[in-house]
Amino acid sequence: MPHAPDHSTHPFAQIPELLAARAGTIRNWLAEPITKRLGMQVLIIVVGAGIYGATLGLWRSPLQALYVAIKFPLILLLTATFNAGLNGMLAQLLGLKVRFLDSFRLIVMSFATAALILAGFSPLTLFALHNAPPLDDPSAATREVYSAILLMHVVAIAFAGVMANVKLFQSLRSLAGDRGRAQFILLAWLGGNLLLGGQFVWNLRPFIGAPFLPVQFLRPTAFEGNFFEGVYHAIHRLLTS
pLDDT of residue 112: 98
pLDDT at residue 1, rounded to an integer: 44
In a domain, 140, yes or no: yes
Do residues 106 and 97 touch, judged by C-beta distance below 8 A? no
How do the pLDDT tens digits run along the chain, 241 residues long?
444 444 455 667 789 999 999 999 999 999 999 999 999 999 999 999 999 999 999 988 999 999 999 999 999 999 999 999 999 999 999 999 889 999 999 999 999 999 999 999 999 999 999 888 877 666 655 677 788 888 999 999 999 999 999 999 999 999 999 999 999 999 999 999 999 999 999 999 999 887 788 999 999 988 888 888 877 776 776 677 6
- Which conformational region is residue 104 in: left (phi greater than 0), alpha (psi within -120 to 50 degrees), or beta? alpha
Q: Is 7 domain-assigned?
A: no
Nearest in space to 161 (alpha carbons), one of 105, 225, 222, 118 = 118
CA nearest neighbour of 65 among 203, 198, 217: 217
Computed over its alpha carbons, how large is the radius of gyration of the chain? 20
User: Is 19 contained in some domain?
Assistant: yes
Residue 2 domain-assigned (yes or no):
no
Please report the sign of the dihedral spanned by the C-alpha atoms of residue 120, residue 122, residue 125, residue 126.
negative
Q: Does residue 127 belong to any structural domain of this protein?
A: yes
Q: Which structural domain, as residue segments, surrounds residue 42?
A: 12-240
Closest CA to 68 of 157, 130, 133, 160: 157
Query: What was the pLDDT predicted at 236?
Result: 75
Query: At 56, is the secondary structure helix, strand, or coil?
Result: helix
CA–CA distances in Å: residue 97 to residues 23, 129, 153, 179:
15, 46, 37, 15
Predicted model pTM: 0.90
Q: What angle do CA 109, 14, 170 make, to 5 degrees?
A: 45
Q: Is residue 203 part of a domain?
A: yes
Per the structure, the count of domains in the chain is 1
